[in-house]
Structure 1
C-alpha cells in the first residue's frame, strides 16, 4: 500500500509557494514540474482541528469545504481571528492595502506589518500597493471608510479571480492603473484617521511570481477531492491557493485548500484529472513526480 501524507495547505513567502505536510515536510510546486497525487479508495476527509489542536471528534467534513473544519472547530478558529474582526486589542501595527486581481476587481484589506506581502500572495493579488500603516482599529476604520466612500469591496470571490488570470493586460503599467487612481482618491479623503500614516503609491506586481504571462485559459476548477480520484499534470502557474495544471487535454485549476483533511497518496498513470471539475461559465466571467510533487 502506498504511503499516505496529510497536507496542511499551500504557504507563500518571499521565496515562493510551498506545500506543507504533516511532520514538517515541505515540497515546492515549481512551474514546469509534474504534480501527481490522488486519494486512496475508501478514504474520508476529516476535520483538521483548530489552533494547533486536533479535532476531538475527528469529524468527517464535506469535500467542497475550503476550511476543512467541522462547525465546532471552525468557531474555535474564528474566535481569535483578525479577519473575522474578533480581536480589538492587537498591539501590532497594520498595513491597509489596495489589491488588484483583474480589470474592475480591486479590493481593500489589512494585514499585520510583520507579515509583509505574504497575505497578498496568499490571496492571489496580481498587484497591490500599501495605503497606510497604523494601529489595528485605525486600519479597520480606514478599510470601512474606503468601502463606503470609494465602493471598494473587502472580498473578491476566487471564482472571479480564476476567470481572468489568463487574459490580464500584458503590461505592468496597465495592471497598475486602477490601483494608482484609487490610491490617489483614498489618501485625499478627509475622514482619514489621524493615527494611520499615509503610505505612497508603490505598486508591486506579482504576475511574474505567479507565472501568469502566457498562461492558457483553464476549462474549469476541481470542485472537490474524492476517494479513488486523482490528478496528474504539469504545473503552469501558482497564484494564491490555486495551482493551474495542464492535466492531459485540459487545463484545470486546483484549489489546494481542498486538500487538508484527506490522506494523499502518490499519483500514477497518465496525465489527467479524475476529481470532479466544475466548468467555468458565463457566471464566472469566462466566455473557460518527485515524491508526491
Structure 2
C-alpha cells in the first residue's frame, strides 16, 4: 500500500483549516489544540475510572459480522472500572465505541470545548472510544459520512485513512460500510489481497492530546498500540453528493441489510464477503 504521512501542524486558524484541509477534503493532525483544555491534564484511564467506574459499558471485539447480530449490538458488557483494569493488566480485543459523554458522564463536558473550525459541530454527539493494546477497528467509514475531529488521550494509536476514491482496491463489502474483516491493514498479505498493492492513502500515529481531522466519508482503520481512548466531534457532510449518500445510508441501506439478514441468514453475509473479492478483482482484471 502507498501510505503518505498525514500533514501535521502545531496550531491552525479556522481560515487556514477551511482553505487547506476542509475545502480540498484532506486530513490533518493538529498537535497542540487541546493543551489549554482541562482534559489535557486530567483525562487518563485512571480519571475515567474515577468518574465513570460504576457505569456499565458495551464492549465490542473483532469477531466477524454474523447475521444474527443486531445493529451496533455489543458482544459483552462490563463495569467501566473492571474494563479499565482489564486494559491495564493484559492485551484485550474488547473496545468501547460511540459512548455518549453527555448521556453517560455529563460532567466531562466541562473538561473540553467545541473548537471553532469554521464549520458547525454537532454539540449533542461527543463520543468516546476505548481500546486495549493491539485492539483495532475494521476498515470502515461512518454511516453519516461526517467530517470527524478525533481527539486522542493516553497512549498511542495508529491510523490508516483512505478516500472514497480508493474503493475499487479495498475489498469493500456490498451493502455495508466495511471492507473484508479478515484483512490486516496494519500488515496486509498482498498474495491474498493483491488489489491492496495499488491503494493510496494516509497514515499517522496519534499521541495524547492530538486531534486528527478526517474528511467526509473517509475510510479509517484504527489500532491501539497501547491502551487508550479518544473522543470524536463531528459535523454533517457539506458536499451535496455526500449528504445524499448519508441520508440513503441512514434511512435505506441499513434497513435493507437488516431485512436481507433476516430473510437469508448467514447466506447473505457469506454472499457479500464473496462479492467483495469478486467485484474487486473484476475491477482490476484479476478474474479475466
Larger Rg: 1
Higher helix share: 2
Assess same fold via TM > 0.5. no
Higher strand share: 1
| TM score, norm. by length of structure 2 | 0.25
